């Protein structure tokens, strides 16, 4: 067990993400935004699933964590990337996105039974302790509806009236995930139902976790389409939640191809995000997680 894990305590908030070299500038913004808003009595524990990060980038991440004077810690996790290399990718989602499927296995020796997964292109506006402390009860994960794919389970040939969630923010019960063999089932779906896959690992996770996820308030994953009110809510209740999330977002998630650093326009949090992102430097950011 690593030194980081032997230092754990009940006030920790373990946060998992995945990154390759291109995502590092975004990951730094996510970490900074978490640490800027976190409660004084809590500590951010960051587990980064490593997709060929350079030694320089790892050093920069560790240096960033050091600036928080013991309120944060970081560990880089190695994963068998080969398991996912033949699965579909796109212009803004690459193999890195699939690596989160293995996170319960990667944290097998961790003392944490629950973790918060955050995509690197999320921007934290409120204390994530409020999210992390939510009780999942007998649900395997907590997540937020994906407004553009709310009724997509039919496309995946799943017989369920449940909605489809966005996998960029997930509160995960690691024990229940392992007990239900979610990693193995998700990989199997990706292999056997390749013809049904449109939205990568997110499709497979929804196919396996339907009816086993807790519906979180949309404010915890305000996707770009939610911020711009692109899709009609499936019910009046969700319409209320969508409006509430737009008024007071807790986590902004820059989903889709349009990002703050390329073609995104008129997003209410774009300028604030880019002030942290650039810090007077020029970055070339490639493919990003959705």
> What would the mean pLDDT of 259-276 be, rounded to a whole number?
92
> What would the mean pLDDT of 167-183 be, rounded to a whole number?
96
46 versus 106: which is more confidently predicted? 46
User: Angle between the 24-37 and 270-278 helix axes, to the nearest 10 degrees?
Assistant: 110
Q: What's the whole-number average pLDDT of the chain?
A: 89
Q: How far apart are CA 231 and CA 146, in angstroms?
A: 10
Residue spans per domain, the chain: 3-278
Candidates 161, 3, 190, 216; CA nearest to 85 is 190
- Position 103 scores a pLDDT of 86
Q: pTM of the full predicted structure?
A: 0.90
> What would the mean pLDDT of 261-283 be, rounded to a whole number?
83
**Which tens digit of pLDDT belongs to each residue from 34-79?**
999 999 999 999 999 888 899 999 999 999 999 998 899 999 998 7
Name the CA dihedral angle for 251, 253, 259, 265, rounded to a multiple of 10 degrees: -70
Q: Which CATH superfamily is domain 3-278 in?
A: Spore Coat Polysaccharide Biosynthesis Protein SpsA; Chain A (3.90.550.10)
Look at 92-96, 120-124, 284-288 and tell me which has the smallest mean pLDDT. Answer: 284-288
> What would the mean pLDDT of 84-104 be, rounded to a whole number?
64
């Amino acid at each position: 067990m690593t030194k980081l894990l032997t230092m754990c305590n009940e006030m920790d908030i373990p946060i998992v993400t995945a990154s390759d070299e291109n995502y590092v500038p975004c990951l730094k913004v996510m970490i900074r935004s978490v640490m800027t808003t976190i409660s004084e009595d809590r500590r951010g524990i960051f587990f980064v699933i490593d997709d060929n990060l350079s030694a320089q980038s790892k050093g920069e991440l560790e240096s960033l964590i050091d600036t928080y004077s013991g309120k944060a810690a970081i560990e880089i996790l190695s994963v068998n990337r080969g398991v996912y290399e033949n699965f579909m990718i796109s212009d803004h989602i690459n193999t890195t996105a699939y690596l989160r499927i293995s996170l319960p296995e990667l944290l097998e020796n961790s003392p944490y039974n629950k973790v918060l997964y955050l995509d690197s292109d999320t921007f934290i506006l409120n204390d994530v302790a409020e999210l992390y402390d939510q009780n999942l009860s007998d649900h395997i994960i907590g997540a937020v509806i994906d407004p553009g794919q709310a009724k997509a389970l039919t496309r995946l040939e799943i017989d369920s009236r449940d909605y489809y969630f966005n996998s960029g923010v997930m509160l995960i019960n690691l024990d229940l995930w392992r007990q239900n063999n979610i990693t193995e089932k998700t990989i199997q779906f990706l292999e056997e139902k390749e013809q049904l896959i449109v939205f990568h690992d997110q499709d497979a996770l929804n196919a396996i976790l339907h009816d086993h996820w807790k519906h979180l308030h949309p404010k915890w994953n305000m996707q770009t389409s939610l911020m711009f009110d692109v899709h009609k809510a499936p019910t009046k209740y969700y319409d209320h939640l969508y409006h509430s999330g737009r008024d007071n977002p807790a986590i902004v998630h820059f989903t889709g191809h349009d990002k703050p650093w390329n073609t995104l326009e008129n997003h209410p949090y774009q300028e604030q995000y880019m002030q942290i992102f650039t810090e007077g430097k020029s970055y070339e950011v490639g493919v990003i997680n959705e």
